[in-house]
Amino acid sequence: MPRLGTRLRSLRGPRSLAAFAKVLDLSYTFVREMERGNRLPSDEVLVHIAHSLKVEAGELALMTYCDRSELLAAHLAKCGLDVAPPAPPAPMGAIPNRPGPELSARIL
C-alpha cells in the first residue's frame, strides 16, 4: 500500500474522490492515481496539496519519497522513524470479502 495514497485517502475521509480532487484543484484522474500509488506528485504539487488540506508539507514529502525509494524507507525505519501512515480503522463488524476459488473462477 503506498504511503502517500493511504494518507490522502484518510485525509479525504467520506468525501467522494471527485469532491476531494476539486478541493485540491487537481484532476480527478491524477488524485485517483496518487491514491493508488501509480503517480507521485512533484514537490510543488505536494506543497499545494498540503496547503489545501492544512497539513505539513514535510509529512507528505516524506511519504512520497519513501514511496519512491524503499531504500530510504528502510533506512528511516532502521533509524527508528516510522514513515508508514496510520492505518485506517476497520469498520465495526466488517467481514473480509475473499471469494473462494470457485467464485473467482466464475468471475474470470
What integer pLDDT is reported at residue 8 of this predicted model?
95
Per-residue pLDDT tens digits of the chain, which is 108 residues long: 578 999 999 999 999 999 999 999 999 999 999 999 999 999 999 999 999 999 999 999 999 988 888 888 888 888 888 776 655 555 555 555 555 555 444 444
pLDDT of residue 2: 77
- CA–CA dist 5, 14 (Å, integer): 15
88 three-state secondary structure: coil
- Give SS3 for 98: coil
Domains recognised in the chain with CATH numbers: 3-87 (1.10.260.40)
